[in-house]
Structure 1
Amino acid sequence: MGKQVRPTVYDLLAMKGKRQLSMLRVVSLEEAEAAEAAGIDLISVPPALLCNPRFRDAAPGRFAIPGGEYGQSGATTDEILRWAVKMRAASADAVYCAASLQTIRRLRDEHIPVCGHTGLIPSHATWTGGFRAVGKSAATAVLVYKQVKDLEAAGAFSAEIEVVPAEVATAISERTSMLMISMGAGGGCDAQYLFSEDVLGLNRGHYPRHAKVYRKLAAEYDRIQAERIAAFREYAADIESGAYPEERHRVPMDAEELKTFLTRL
């Protein structure tokens, strides 16, 4: 079986309205490799992971979008452009950008695919009342729609729509050419997006309403940590008692050679 060719922006937009795509936030090579093996369509990745030389070996067929760590809110358009060019050179298929429409247009002019953000935007949450749903009133729903159309006009090919009522998100998705990625915005968009830490049950704090836990790996990691501590304690105790190292851990030496060495000393 040959290596899977990852989709292009053109391919993704051609799927709009035909089937729901899957998207995960992954933060390690192991998670990227698992997403590849599982056939997840899109992955959001930390820039450092994308720049790892082993990343594309782990996830050759995944459409990868870096973002989240770069301080775009206070960065200039030129700074974001330089970052985006670096990400594209490192094999990013698109970049996430929650900066100004001017910046998105600048990236578009350089043919860099952009995924925008609307609804609850964590870095802009102070403007919408904090970390809570957006678009529950007609007025705020219209605001979300306007943001989407502005992103579309600026040249973004896609947008994450976060914690918006499902009916609102569905109606908006039907009225834009962009690929709409739902995070807690119902099943009427073009893709569903969750964080791997939620899917794997690694989140030790609050789970968002839209999260679904498929495995509880936190308990497994706790078990492994307990075993790690126990092994370290046994090792330290063996050193103290003289049980380690044993004869089999030592480098052997011929008795006559040792006698000659000690004589020379």
Structure 2
Amino acid sequence: MANRKTIKDIQSSKGSEKLAVLTAYDAQMAKMLEEAGIDMILVGDSLGNVVLGMETTLGVSVKDILRHTQAVTQAAKHTFVIADMPFGSYQESPEQAFRNASKFLSIGGAQAVKLEGGQTMATTVKKLTQSGIPVMGHVGLTPQYVHQLGGFAKQGKTEIAAKAILQDALALEAAGAFSLVIECTDHNLAEKITQELRIPTIGFGSGTACDGQVLVINDLLGL
């Protein structure tokens, strides 16, 4: 079994090796993904949709993510695991974000957390990374903002909107994020962001130019 990838491994892959990321929510799937050699496992708040039957991810709690993260890390002992920070667990303040994010590492066994948002989250990302918590950013379509966005639709379709997403990406990198999910944007925008950033980008419905791809395991399996 290969050793778990480190932040350094993930960042050094940019421009040379595509990263493969899949979600997992239980020990059995986590073990299968580890045996398949997946680069990173995301314990996504998408569990609200595909496991708990919710219409959105907004009802997922810290307790939900923590329990599923424990299940995944107990089975995938050699794979880099990222815990998704659920809605309401980090938006209030950097201090709130640290209290919750630290649980995902110290109790859940994850190696990093992921949170949504751009420039407004930069201070929070900086607080977490300076406190020893690696952060994966997430721009473009951010499902926790579904009501503000007016639904699940492609983002960055206008020049102004595209520039705003690029600025979000740059702000997260400057704050210390080690990688960045780009969800549901135009291929050209995702490619530009990938070229502008020094950290790896992980595409989700944003074309093939990113440094890696992430999928919800249930979608991949057609479930």
TM-score, normalised to structure 2, is 0.82
Quick check: 1:73–1:98 contact (8 Å CA) kept in 2?
A: no
Tell me, in whole angstroms, the C-alpha distance in 2 between the residues paired with 1:105 and 1:57.
29
What's the counterpart of residue 184 of structure 1?
205
Shift of 1:70: 5.1
Aligned with 2:15 (options 17, 41, 51): 17
What's the counterpart of residue 99 of structure 2?
82
What's the counterpart of residue 59 of structure 2?
none
Does 2:153 correspond to 1:132?
Answer: yes
Aligned residues: 198
Quick check: 2:85–2:101 contact (8 Å CA) kept in 1?
A: no
Alignment-mate amino acid for residue 79 of structure 2? R
What's the counterpart of residue 115 of structure 1?
136
Does 2:70 correspond to 1:51?
Answer: yes
Unmatched runs of 5 consecutive residues or more in structure 1: 203-265
Bigger relative CO (Cα 8 Å, ≥ 6 apart): 2
Q: SS at the partner of 1:174?
A: helix
What's the counterpart of residue 104 of structure 1?
125
Shift of 1:73: 5.6
Quick check: 2:190–2:206 contact (8 Å CA) kept in 1?
A: yes
TM-score, normalised to structure 1, is 0.70
Identical positions, percent: 33
Aligned CA RMSD, in angstroms, stands at 1.7
Quick check: 1:40–1:62 contact (8 Å CA) kept in 2?
A: yes
Aligned with 1:30 (options 18, 21, 28): 28
Q: Deviations over 1:145-197 (max 9, x none)?
A: 01001111111111111000111101110110122110001111111011011
Unmatched runs of 5 consecutive residues or more in structure 2: 44-64
Tell me, in whole angstroms, the C-alpha distance in 2 between the residues paired with 1:94 and 1:103.
14
Does 2:169 correspond to 1:171?
Answer: no
Tell me, in whole angstroms, the C-alpha distance in 2 between the residues paired with 1:7 and 1:165.
29
- Of residues 138-147 and 123-132 in structure 1, the stretch that sits farther from structure 2 once superposed is 123-132
Q: Which of 1 and 2 has greater Rg?
A: 1
Quick check: 1:72–1:98 contact (8 Å CA) kept in 2?
A: no
Q: SS at the partner of 1:173?
A: helix
